[in-house]
Amino acid sequence: MESKREHLVQFIPAKKSIKIPHGYNLMQAIKDCGVRIESPCGGVGTCGRCLVRIKEGKVSTKKTEFISAEEKKKGYVFSCLSRVESDLVVETFSESEVSAKIEKGIFTEMDSKEYSDINRSEISSVEIDPWIKKAAITVEEPSLSYGTSDLFRLKKSIRQNLGIKDCLVPVDIIREIPEILRKKNLEVSVTVDSREEKLIDIKAGKAAGKSYGLALDIGTTSLVLYLADLGSGEIIASESEYNPQISFGEDVINRIVYAGRKDGLEKLREVVLDSINGMIYKLIFNSRIKADRIVSMMIAGNSTMMHLFYGVSPKYIREEPYVTTANKFPDSSAEVLGIKRIKKARIYEIQGVASYLGGDITAGVLATDMYKKKELALFIDLGTNGELVVGNSEWMMGASCSAGPAFEGGGVKCGIRAVDGAIEKVAIDRNSYRCSIEVIGGEKPGGICGSGLIDVIGEMYLKGVIDRKGKFNKDIGNKFLKRDGDIYRYILVDGGSTVDGKDIYITEVDIDNLIRAKAAVYAGIKTLLEEVGLGINDIEKIYIAGGLGKHIYIRNAIVIGMFPDIDNKKYFFLGNTSVTGAYLSLLSKSKYEQSSKIAEKITYIELSVSMNFMDRYVAGLFLPYTDMKDFPSVEKISGKPDEDAKNSF
């Protein structure tokens, strides 16, 4: 019987092992074996000190908010919560190793990329003046001749110290006032929402202390969360995770479909809330900040993500005439929205423009300076969708170009997201047609991500592997082109060198999908410009944002006809501008107000019904474009030996 089986558990680096019965507690096994392990919480899964990593074998482990799905996939478990279910190889850590993991937030092994690409100039110039303020104040003494209420005197003091004329104090706080005022002789620390002119929290004594805020980007694919000091603006810590809604649909359309099922909306809301709550908990845990010091959270996301987060059906986003229920949801308390641990915090949302141009794009524009300057700028956010804004301080137009998920690996046989093992850069040898690759994380490749795909298409075109229509040239003696029935596969990496022993290749169907995606982006840019009588050459600056954007080799994006063929120096990479814009709005009242002004200023163009867009799109189904005049620098080198291409990286 299963329960009578025994398993061999080996511990590294200790090089000790022990035989224990099936279902035995892993921490107990470690102790039995004489390996040193800490458990100050007494084995209830709250201290995190008994962290181990399962290198081989299987355990059943109780869920804990400390460990994300991603970390679990990497084998991290709390030994106290785990039962042995097979032979195991278990890596244990010294006390200092665990401390390092806990203190540096290594649980998620988040790299520093996320916030290194914040637009530093915008951030350094922001005046720190958040909606939520903390202050230590002294309330006037009552007297027989001045017998006004506690509330009146408290409000007076708030008015004098924080300039809020008539601060609303909710009943639940009023209930605490009599004792709090008198506890430390009328000295109190108040937390005030200057946007709603409302008292959020009050404590006895003058130790106002620091207050913190969160900036959250809810992307279709990823969630990114910053914890910031609202006094200094410093980002204390950050977290990023996949949006768990992915398992219910890769893109917004599939999410909307799922939300329409019975309990679908609630399910989608629940899973993303769980992730966000988990991320908040980790930030609190890792940063050792008291939860009640986090007083606000600013959220940006596309319209569908925001509908799902607020529990509102996104159904009509997908039905003509494509309207949202709201482009901006009202300020709410964390508690009302199901955000735990920081229940009293205020939750703000960055206003969106339209169904397919959400608050993430507004936040993106806020993170640039395009809304302040006269020069004509183009903002491109390449995530699961592709969104565009063109304009300057006078006017702005925006559109979603429905690029589809090709650049995130969707609709491409060997396409994967930009995770460890993804091919992110590709070059092709002009003579042998052999690919050179760079892999994220430097391990064996398991697939190819967006930036790699752009490189592949660009390189294949420049080296003659495919023609302008994206069809394989079968007469060039390309020995990496293999036939499987009617389908040709261009082998990028032989199975002998991949993580799962299978070839990584590309087909004409894949190429077709990618060409359609790039055609949509470029057609969107052209259409927007032409709406106001401008052309590609009028663009003075191009901002590239989004998870994909930051890894793109710009030259190849031009070669395939996705990005405008203008001077490289006009391109600027900003990374995740959605979270940056949210972060700026978190720190500054005026930035937040600016974001709504931006959203209201952007004129939305629905490309899916634009004949002009359709014409440009069809023209874009060639490499780089039907009319080569649009891509003069590509025309020069097409089909010829090309120095640029040789020096791809």
Binding site residues, a copy of itself, CB under 8 A: 142-144, 146-152, 168-172, 174-175, 177-179, 182, 310-313, 315-316, 320-330, 332, 336-337, 354-355, 604, 606, 609
Of the pair 227, 528, the CB lying nearest a copy of itself is at: 528
Of the pair 43, 142, the CB lying nearest a copy of itself is at: 142
Of the pair 396, 491, the CB lying nearest a copy of itself is at: 396
Of the pair 181, 230, the CB lying nearest a copy of itself is at: 181
CB of 641 to a copy of itself, least distance (A): 49
Instruction: Give the angle subtended at the CA of 401 by the CAs of 506 and 513, to the nearest 5°.
Output: 15
- Residue 319 is encoded by which pair of tokens? 């039905």
Give CA–CA dist 268/333, Å, rounded. Answer: 20
- Residue 274 is encoded by which pair of tokens? 């769980």
Give CA–CA dist 74/110, Å, rounded. Answer: 13
CB of 230 to a copy of itself, least distance (A): 24
Of the candidates 224, 241, 239, the residue with the CA atom closest to the CA atom of residue 419: 241
Contact 489, 506 (CB under 8 A): yes
CA–CA distance from 365 to each of 93, 307, 540 (Å)? 45, 21, 15
CB of 604 to a copy of itself, least distance (A): 7
Of the candidates 251, 112, 110, 122, the residue with the CA atom closest to the CA atom of residue 577: 122
Contact 429, 478 (CB under 8 A): no
Of the pair 326, 536, the CB lying nearest a copy of itself is at: 326
Sign of CA dihedral 59, 62, 67, 68: positive
CB of 276 to a copy of itself, least distance (A): 16
Of the pair 313, 473, the CB lying nearest a copy of itself is at: 313
3-state SS class at 17: strand
CB of 327 to a copy of itself, least distance (A): 5
CB of 85 to a copy of itself, least distance (A): 43
CB of 323 to a copy of itself, least distance (A): 4
Contact 594, 126 (CB under 8 A): no
Of the pair 182, 646, the CB lying nearest a copy of itself is at: 182
For 238, other C-beta atoms within 10 Å of its C-beta total 22
Give CA–CA dist 106/126, Å, rounded. Answer: 30
Of the candidates 578, 572, 250, 599, the residue with the CA atom closest to the CA atom of residue 397: 599
Eight-state DSSP code of residue 208: -
Q: How far is CA 408 from the centre of its chain?
A: 13
For 260, other C-beta atoms within 10 Å of its C-beta total 13
Q: What are the start-end ranges of the E strands in 560-619? A: 571-575, 602-604
- Residue 44 is encoded by which pair of tokens? 């209830």
Helix, strand, coil shares, percent, the chain, to 5: 35, 25, 40
3-state SS class at 535: coil
Of the pair 202, 552, the CB lying nearest a copy of itself is at: 202
Instruction: Give the angle subtended at the CA of 317 by the CAs of 315 and 321, to the nearest 5°.
Output: 115
CA–CA distance from 165 to each of 15, 155, 198, 360 (Å)? 69, 8, 10, 33
| β-bridge mates for residue 463, sequence order | none
Of the pair 325, 633, the CB lying nearest a copy of itself is at: 325
Of the pair 330, 501, the CB lying nearest a copy of itself is at: 330
CB of 332 to a copy of itself, least distance (A): 5
Of the pair 315, 341, the CB lying nearest a copy of itself is at: 315
